[in-house]
Structure 1
Amino acid sequence: DDRGACGYGTLVDVVPMKARVGSVSPVLFKGGEGCGACYKVRCLDHGICSRRAVTVIVTDECPGGGPCGGGNTHFDLSGAAFSRMAVAGAGAHLRDRGQLKVIYRRTACKYGGKNIAFHVNEGSTSFWLSVLVEFEDGEGDIGSMQLKQANSAKWLDMKHVWGATWCLYGGPTAGPFSVRLTTLSAPKTLTARDVIPRNWTPKGTYSSRLNFDASL
């Protein structure tokens, strides 16, 4: 499953995502458009939980049945995130509880100085370009994505297909490509010019020189 339904792959195993990843119920996953959003989650059992909230980055969707179904709001947290909510020395005991009542709120994503990056997915060609968006500060989610080819003034709408992946069909296309992102929750727009080079390769990752403000 490429480390979850958002398709972030091995990024979920390393800093800055490591230990902050989580899966959410469909009401927050939003068919994949909720990928990358960040939440503060705090446990309400004061007998074993501290007052410390943990930050969770949406990287996966939990199954639609049980606590994740029926329009419920549900978070599946990593073991590390569970432990961080506990009072000192009670991390293992808290994890054994399984399900907990929590409160949560949306929070700005902060990737510690990283800029937005674009990963060209395996299988991409000049006729089918598949791109994964990484390290988006602020809102964290993407509402629309457009691409502009070299020597063109026309912005082409990319299609959201699954997780954090967007695709452009048709072609042939020619780089370098500029990319325009618009966030989903509170529309903000950012343009990374010529960020994907002319000689791009499948499985290549290309970092921009900019990011959204780390605020909501």
Structure 2
Amino acid sequence: MNCKIVELGLGAGGACGYGSLVDVKPLRARVGAVSPVLFKGGEGCGACYKVKCLDDSICSRRAVTVIITDECPGGYCSAGRTHFDLSGAAFGRMAVAGDNNELRSTDYWLSLLVEFEDGDGDVGSMHIREASSIEWVEMKHIWGATWCIVGGPLKGPFSVKLTTLSTARTLSARDVIPSNWSPKATYTSRLNFFT
């Protein structure tokens, strides 16, 4: 497969800056983030790898070619190890026919994007708490207003606590994410930091 990118877009699409090109040929969202040893400070952008799942119960024998568009978020990839974080489209391509949602879904990773904080809207830290717990777990800052947690399995409903960077004010949204949470969904708390 020819993985050469001939035109760069601006905006999203990972640290490599491919923007909306990740959704069109030749990528078609079959992209991945890699550990620092493969990302090489950005020199690994655009590299192609064939990845194959070895679990015959949920994976076909088909490998998927992915193009590198990003570095693993928040230091979850060990600096000296080879690690891939694949897009849902890449995972789905490796699945047994009809079972792509089984392979794409995970309850071990949750990423949140904070929008419309208003007032003291500079988020300095973010914590999450499962309904079955009394402990607030600190989330890892990925970039911008995006935070994530790896653990699990993660079970909602979730409460979210934000702390501002400039004034250390805290806001807690209780059970803002329901037990039947789903990827790419938006959940609104109606709480804001007002000046």
User: TM-score by structure 1 length?
Assistant: 0.42
Q: Which has the higher contact order (CA 8 A, sep 6+)?
A: 1
How high is the TM-score relative to the length of structure 2? Answer: 0.47
